[in-house]
Amino acid sequence: MSAYGLVILGSGSAAFAAAIKASELGAKVALVEHDIVGGTCVNRGCIPSKNLIHAAGLLWDARRSPFPGLNTVGEADFASLIAQKDELVGELRREKYLDIAAGDPNIELLKGVARFLGPHELAADGERLRAEKVIVATGARPRIPAIPGLEEVPYLTSRTAFELTELPEVLLIVGGGYIACELGQLFSRLGAEVTVLERGPRLLASFEPVISRALAERFRAEGIGVELGAEVVSVQGKEGDIAVTVRKEEKTAIFSGTHLLLATGRAPNTEGLGLERVGVETDPRGFIRVDAEMRTSVPPIFAAGDVVGPPMATPVAAREGAIAAENALTGAGRRMDYRVIPRAVFTDPEIGTVGLTEGEAEARGIRCACRVLDLAYVPRARAIREAEGVVKMVADAGSGRVLGVHLFMPQAAEVVHEAALAIKSGLKVSDLAEFVHVYPTLSEALRLVAQSFTRDVTRLSCCAE
């Protein structure tokens, strides 16, 4: 039996962050992975999606230049795009995961399917492992909904969509979350005919409604079909000829396509781990229950990353993994703080959001003051001819403290960090209104929306205070 100070199930963001922290603390660590090393982010998530999204954006801009006098033509070789994506993924998997494990004498990477035999003992493909502490970081996978007829119909998920070598001709997407939105615009810009089928009343249900409406309007303007309140009741067909029946406003409609993509959420990878054998509690959806220290219901066992549920994001998983490792090995009692975590959706324009929405603040009994700024009043947006978008700021009406910022604008994923720091630091609207920004910049949108609480920003000269 091999003995370790820490055994980690999985090899993604949470797992490697935990392993690196444990190694720094001097522990002997085993990472057990049955699939591809690196987890979702580098293999099937952040890296491949953002690579292809940027490529599709370049093609879109080349074909539709907003600048009079600048005429270009773009062509797409889909198979070559996928090939360069695969090459990039391979490079980063090696550099950021395999090489790190190989170069650290405290980390051992094991191949196999692990399951618990007891709180301190596991089996992995016939080998027995003894662990002082264990971290479950097995991640999540696309959730497959129970749709009549689906078992007979070929479909794509976020895992398999990036494995295509030919561009779908007509793509039907079930779901309206961030994955559906990012992939829908990506494939549309590469040349596919795309329709998004969302059963709820809007895209991105947990985001500010003004952001959801703006995104739906942008999609429709680009030729992407957006069907809201469309509940999928059945699917049928074969490869290249798929029909999806939906119920909308008490009527049924049939949408036909060559490909079907399911983007209906994530399910935890907990089956077969033997969690029930050792008494690790899970919630009704199967996600592992943990406390703020990432400890499960069984003291020697911790969990981190997507397997513990939302918010599912690579940096969140990494922070959880590091905290879990430090607490497991030293009893440091570090706690995960989810109060200020910026999020982004890499559509075009991008979406950046942090803090409370107006609805969330009101649900907590907070009397809110909110302002919405049209991006057309941001000089840099006008200068680069990308003035479509909105910025919303949510503040406490009494104290003026900034509670939330929600962006639909170019580079929102970058700008949102200033807003996150403002919220984390307890800044007021007046602090942002008086903060001097470089001119002209897109981040100046935060100063302008803050100024709009007390002034008519449509009547200000450039840089006016």
Q: What is the pLDDT of residues 182-203, one digit of tens each?
A: 999 999 999 999 999 999 999 9
pLDDT at 465 over 70: no
How far from chain centre, in Å, is Cα 143?
A: 15
CB burial readout 420-437, b (16+ within 10 A) else e: bebbeeebbbeebbeeeb
Last residue within a domain, chosen from 264, 282, 299: 264
Residue/partner pairs of 363-369 with CB below 8 Å, 24 or more apart: 366/396, 366/403, 367/396, 367/397, 367/398, 368/394, 368/395, 368/396, 368/397, 368/403, 369/394, 369/395, 369/396, 369/397, 369/400, 369/429, 369/453
* Rounded average pLDDT over 409-422: 98
Tell me the residue type at 165.
T
Last residue within a domain, chosen from 281, 302, 330: 330
Length of the chain (residues): 465
Of 274, 244, 277, the C-alpha closest to 258 is 244
pLDDT at 463 over 90: no
Q: CA–CA separation, 353 vs 396, rounded Å?
A: 17
Question: Does the residue 464 lie in any domain?
Answer: no
Residue 352: strand pairing partners: 344, 407
Q: CA–CA separation, 57 vs 77, rounded Å?
A: 14
**Is residue 258 located within the same domain as residue 127?**
no
How far from chain centre, in Å, is Cα 144?
A: 18
CB 453 within 8 A of CB 371: yes
Of 452, 460, 455, the C-alpha closest to 372 is 452
- Please state the pTM of the whole predicted model: 0.94
Residue 246 — φ and ψ, nearest 5°?
Answer: -125, 155
How far from chain centre, in Å, is Cα 46?
A: 8
**Is residue 137 located within the same domain as residue 172?**
no
Question: Does the residue 465 lie in any domain?
Answer: no
pLDDT at 212 over 70: yes
Cβ atoms within 10 A of the Cβ of 389, count?
Answer: 25
Torsion angle of the four alpha carbons 52, 58, 61, 63, in this order, in degrees rounded to the nearest 10: -90
Last residue within a domain, chosen from 210, 242, 264: 264
Residue 455 to residues 371, 406, 451, Cα–Cα distance (Å):
11, 20, 6
Question: Which residues touch 298 (CB under 8 Å, ≥6 apart)?
Answer: 119, 278, 279, 280
Per-residue confidence (pLDDT) for residue 22, from 0 to 100: 98
Q: CA–CA separation, 389 vs 391, rounded Å?
A: 7
Question: Does the residue 461 lie in any domain?
Answer: no
Q: Which CATH number goes with the domain that contains 77? A: 3.50.50.60
State the DSSP string of 288-311: BP--TT-B-SSTTEEE-GGGG-SS
Per-residue confidence (pLDDT) for residue 1, from 0 to 100: 72
**Is residue 251 located within the same domain as residue 273?**
no
pLDDT at 464 over 80: no
Question: Which residues touch 160 (CB under 8 Å, ≥6 apart)?
Answer: none
Of 56, 66, 61, the C-alpha closest to 381 is 66
Per-residue confidence (pLDDT) for residue 242, from 0 to 100: 98
**Is residue 350 located within the same domain as residue 259?**
no
**Is residue 133 located within the same domain as residue 171?**
no
Confidence of residue 126 (pLDDT cuts 50, 70, 90): confident
Determine how β-strand 368-374 pairs with β-strand 350-355.
unpaired
pLDDT at 150 over 70: yes
Q: CA–CA separation, 189 vs 171, rounded Å?
A: 12
Q: How many domains does the chain have?
A: 3
CB 125 within 8 A of CB 111: yes
Question: Does the residue 7 lie in any domain?
Answer: yes
Tell me the residue type at 389.
G
**Is residue 212 located within the same domain as residue 307?**
no
**Is residue 228 located within the same domain as residue 210?**
yes
Question: Does the residue 337 lie in any domain?
Answer: no
**Is residue 323 located within the same domain as residue 408?**
no
CB 179 within 8 A of CB 204: no
**Is residue 354 located within the same domain as residue 310?**
no
How far from chain centre, in Å, is Cα 259?
A: 23
**Is residue 231 located within the same domain as residue 369?**
no
Q: CA–CA separation, 441 vs 264, rounded Å?
A: 36
SS3 annotation, 210-227: HHHHHHHHHHHHCCCEEE
Question: Does the residue 335 lie in any domain?
Answer: no
Per-residue confidence (pLDDT) for residue 351, from 0 to 100: 98
Q: Which CATH number goes with the domain that contains 433? A: 3.30.390.30
What is the domain extent for residue 176? 150-264
Lowest mean pLDDT among 63-67, 408-412, 425-429: 63-67
Over the stretch 34-47, which tens digit does the pLDDT of each residue have? 999 999 999 999 99
pLDDT at 261 over 70: yes
Structure tokens at 102: 């190989």
Question: Does the residue 237 lie in any domain?
Answer: yes
Residue 456 to residues 85, 304, 452, Cα–Cα distance (Å):
47, 46, 6
- Rg of the chain in Å (alpha carbons): 24
Give the mean pLDDT of the chain: 96
Q: CA–CA separation, 463 vs 461, rounded Å?
A: 6
Per-residue confidence (pLDDT) for residue 459, from 0 to 100: 87
Question: Does the residue 287 lie in any domain?
Answer: yes
**Is residue 21 located within the same domain as residue 55?**
yes
Cβ atoms within 10 A of the Cβ of 410, count?
Answer: 21
**Is residue 134 located within the same domain as residue 13?**
yes
pLDDT at 380 over 80: yes
